Amino acid sequence: MGELGAALSKEALLQWRSRSRVVAIVVFGSSALLLFSFAIGPDTSALSRHAPGFLWLALLLSSTLSLSESFRAETDERALEGLLLLPARSHALFYGKAIANGLQLALLGIALLAPMVVLYDAPLPRPWALIGVILLGSAGLAAPGTLYAAMTSQLRADQTLLPLLLFPLVVPVLLASVKASSLLMHGDAMGQVGSWQMLLVAFDVIYWSLCGVLFERVVED
């Protein structure tokens, strides 16, 4: 726990120093929602119906900007090798990065709720439950995103390769998140939202366990 705490402290400091970049990512996500609304047109009912899908699509696109920067500081300063030589397990580095990325994506998703409501006239009858889905979905994006960010951080085309590798893997998380969000926003007459939330939890457990195991092999190679 001490190693994980130190890794989280380092990530919190890096996030604070790059807070202007976080603002830029929020603006990018809001701009994506605005552009998606133009694609639907002035049909209010269609805008509201498609709001959950566009919310998660905007979050997915914004996540590539956030995740691609995960190892930027270590790569630019050639510090990754030094971190791996410390008397700490590589798992602590991975989970510190992944937790920080997951929290950042969750905050981004919560921040995008306001422009979604304004642009799509989307209802929020159960906001706290929706925030819970955003937390679960963000965790499902963060773990594989952190792993692939580590894999591509040493490559020149890292920002191109990351979405190509990440998007196919997180399709199940994205589908479950969109479905759960849609049920929470537009009604759940058959009580299905709990099943979709449990599916998200299952994906999170699988991804976080597997990616934590694979991270050591990735950074060693």
78 pLDDT band, cuts 50/70/90, is: low
Total number of domains in the chain: 1
Task: Specify the higher pLDDT residue, 220 or 114.
Answer: 114
* DSSP, residue by residue, 173-203: HHHHHHHHHHHHHH--TT--HHHHHHHHHHH
What range does the domain containing 210 cover? 2-220
Q: Name the least confident of 19-28, 120-129, 177-186.
A: 19-28
What local confidence, expressed as pLDDT, does residue 13 receive?
66
CB 129 within 8 A of CB 113: no
Which tops the pLDDT comparison, 63 or 77? 63
Mean pLDDT estimate for the chain: 83
What is the reported pLDDT for 152? 79
Q: For position 46, what pLDDT does the model report? A: 87
* Residue 152 token pair: 């591509």
Which residue would you say has higher pLDDT here, 142 or 219? 142
In 3-state terms, what secondary structure has residue 86? Answer: coil
Residue of higher predicted confidence among 190 and 105: 105
- The whole-number pLDDT of residue 30 equals 93
Confidence grade of residue 96 (pLDDT, cut at 50, 70, 90): confident
| The two structure tokens encoding residue 92 | 């602590």
**Cα(175)–Cα(183) distance, rounded to whole angstroms?**
12
Whole-structure pTM value: 0.88
* C-alpha span between 91 and 84 (Å, rounded): 10
pLDDT per residue as tens digits for the range 188-197: 888 899 999 9
Q: What is the pLDDT of residue 114?
A: 93
